[in-house]
């Protein structure tokens, strides 16, 4: 498509982009054209300005307080932050990056979890997959960094809105405290995925989007120890207990 | 454009002033959340969109140009774009476009236009929207406010896709002619 020679089409697409009716791949393609073509970008901007007062006329809705807390966390400047390792975003970033770097190496370890000699051999680990799905496509084995012992398995189908957490050792639960699962996107604050149910072997956590969207940029997961019910601040407040790379299989 | 206090807040955000950013959030988040919520129609998704947009606003505050657009216009564009991207990616079946949307935009579009007219920079647009044929106006309002695609518009207005596309195209062309070639002129 050569838009240069078709100013009318250019105008029409710019208008439909700003209105929102240009969708899907066409929208993405048009956005690439815009990046390379200042005239086109200006046409879109003109249209956005023409239509924008309509957005300002939309009825306001107060967002929940957690949105602001999450934003503060992500810009690394919450007004009140707990001290210690959790206050240090770089720690989380590095954890995420390190985990993604290690991912390839650890893949073998995850697939063939071998008994740690000379300790008593743990039973071979089998991840049971719901029968109506071929297999989980996102998988993490979270282990204790000191002992390297796998403690939890986290999995999700790529188009599923549920994340399954399997507890390999029920003894990991601490009375009156909760284990909270976190996604570790590189360069960003950890995002809570929910609290691991203490009484169940399997916990299903609801995702805000299908796994493919929710985990597009999440190379690692971690579990922290939190007050009962989960972190009150939206960010981890207790020690990190288990971590592991989060991999997409197929 | 007058002295919009948001201009100064954005300028301070460009200097990494967190207090100004918090002020900006307090003053604009309800409006922008309303915009996102109407398009993505799921609270959890709208919260994600809002988060991402404020991070973007914080990182890009220095790109804001006062002469080009009011701060609210600039921020609303960011939110609309992000919301439309989410719509594209989310499973379309999850998004339940129900009769409620049509209800809200009455066929004569009085509600949203009346709100638009009260805005300082909305009167001209409201006037030009009134000049459109009712069908064109309705299609444009639904597309803009509720993020409906051509085919969703066709479904909900119970008209052939081609007809709806024509309404949108002609409606936009008339709007442009009515508003003048350059916005604000």
Is the model's pLDDT at A118 over the cut of 50? no
Is there a single domain that holds both residue A84 and residue A112?
Answer: no
Residues of B in contact with A19 (CB under 8 A): 140, 143-144, 168, 172
The predicted pLDDT at position A10 comes to 87
Is there a single domain that holds both residue A109 and residue A225?
Answer: yes
Locate A213 and state its tokens: 């969207």
pLDDT, mean over chain A = 75
Region of B55 on the Ramachandran plot (φ > 0 left; ψ -120 to 50 alpha; else beta): alpha
The predicted pLDDT at position B32 comes to 95
Residues of A in contact with B69 (CB under 8 A): 45, 48-49, 52
Is the model's pLDDT at B181 over the cut of 70? no
pLDDT in tens, A218-249: 888 999 888 888 888 888 887 888 888 888 77
- Most B-contacting residue of A16, A56, A74 (CB-CB within 10 A), to test interface: A56
- Residue A1 inside a domain? The answer is no
Chain-centroid distance, C-alpha B166: 21
- Most A-contacting residue of B84, B137, B156 (CB-CB within 10 A), to test interface: B84
The predicted pLDDT at position B58 comes to 93
pLDDT in tens, A6-32: 788 888 999 999 999 988 788 888 988
Closest residue in B to A43 (Cα–Cα): B182
Q: How many domains does chain B have?
A: 2
Chain A residues within 8 Å of chain B (Cβ atoms): 11-12, 15-16, 19-21, 23-24, 27-28, 45-46, 48-64, 66-68, 70-71, 74-75, 77, 159, 208-210, 213
pLDDT in tens, A62-71: 999 999 999 9
pTM score > 0.80 for this model?
no
Structural domain boundaries, residue B73: 1-90
Average pLDDT over residues B67-82: 87
More confident residue, B111 or B54: B54
ipTM above threshold 0.90: no
Average pLDDT over residues A102-126: 41
Helix (H, G, I), strand (E, B) or coil at A154: strand
Alpha helix (H) residue ranges in B15-98? 18-40, 43-60, 71-89
Task: Round to whole Å and give the CA distance between B175 and B179.
Answer: 6
Nearest Cα of chain B lies from the Cα of A108 at a distance, in angstroms, of 32
Is there a single domain that holds both residue B69 and residue B118?
Answer: no
Is the model's pLDDT at A98 over the cut of 60? no
Average pLDDT over residues B151-176: 93
Average pLDDT over residues A117-124: 44
Nearest Cα of chain B lies from the Cα of A109 at a distance, in angstroms, of 33
Is there a single domain that holds both residue B129 and residue B83?
Answer: no
Q: How many CB pairs under 8 A join A and B?
A: 154
Structural domain boundaries, residue A32: 7-92
Is there a single domain that holds both residue B4 and residue B74?
Answer: yes
């Amino acid at each position: 498509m050569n838009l240069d020679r078709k100013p009318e089409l250019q105008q029409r697409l710019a208008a439909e982009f700003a209105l929102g009716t240009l969708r899907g791949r066409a929208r993405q393609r048009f956005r690439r054209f815009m990046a390379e073509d200042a005239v086109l970008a200006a046409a879109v901007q003109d249209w956005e300005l023409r239509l924008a007062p309509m957005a300002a006329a939309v009825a306001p809705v107060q967002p929940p307080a957690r949105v602001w807390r999450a934003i503060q966390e992500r810009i690394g400047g919450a007004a009140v932050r707990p001290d210690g390792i959790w206050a240090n975003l770089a720690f989380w970033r590095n954890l995420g990056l390190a985990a993604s770097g290690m991912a390839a190496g650890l893949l073998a370890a995850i697939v063939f979890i071998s008994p740690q000699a000379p300790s008593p051999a743990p039973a071979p680990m089998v991840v049971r997959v719901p029968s109506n799905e071929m297999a989980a496509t996102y998988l993490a084995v979270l282990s204790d960094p000191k002992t390297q012992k796998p403690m939890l398995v986290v999995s999700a189908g790529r188009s599923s809105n549920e994340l399954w957490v399997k507890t390999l050792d029920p003894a990991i639960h601490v009375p009156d405290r909760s284990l909270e699962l976190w996604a570790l996107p590189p360069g960003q604050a950890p995002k809570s995925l929910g609290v691991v149910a203490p009484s169940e072997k399997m916990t299903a956590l609801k995702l805000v989007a299908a796994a493919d969207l929710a985990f597009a940029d999440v190379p690692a997961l971690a579990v922290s120890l939190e007050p009962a019910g989960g972190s009150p601040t939206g960010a981890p407040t207790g020690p990190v207990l288990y971590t592991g790379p989060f991999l997409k299989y197929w | 454009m007058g002295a919009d206090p948001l201009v100064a807040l954005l300028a301070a955000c460009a200097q990494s002033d967190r207090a100004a950013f918090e002020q900006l959030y307090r003053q604009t988040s309800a409006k922008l959340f309303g915009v996102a919520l109407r398009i993505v129609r799921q609270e959890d998704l709208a919260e994600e969109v809002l988060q991402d947009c404020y991070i973007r606003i914080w990182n890009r505050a220095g790109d804001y140009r006062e002469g080009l657009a009011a701060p609210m216009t600039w921020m609303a564009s960011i939110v609309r774009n992000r919301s439309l991207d989410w719509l594209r990616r989310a499973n379309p079946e999850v998004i339940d476009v129900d009769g409620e949307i049509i209800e809200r935009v009455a066929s004569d579009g009085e509600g949203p236009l009346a709100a638009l007219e009260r805005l300082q920079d909305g009167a001209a647009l409201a006037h030009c929207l009134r000049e459109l044929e009712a069908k064109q106006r309705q299609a444009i309002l639904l597309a803009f406010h509720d993020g409906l695609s051509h085919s969703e518009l066709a479904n909900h207005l119970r008209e052939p896709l081609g007809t709806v596309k024509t309404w949108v195209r002609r409606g936009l062309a008339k709007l442009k002619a009515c508003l003048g070639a350059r916005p604000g002129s």
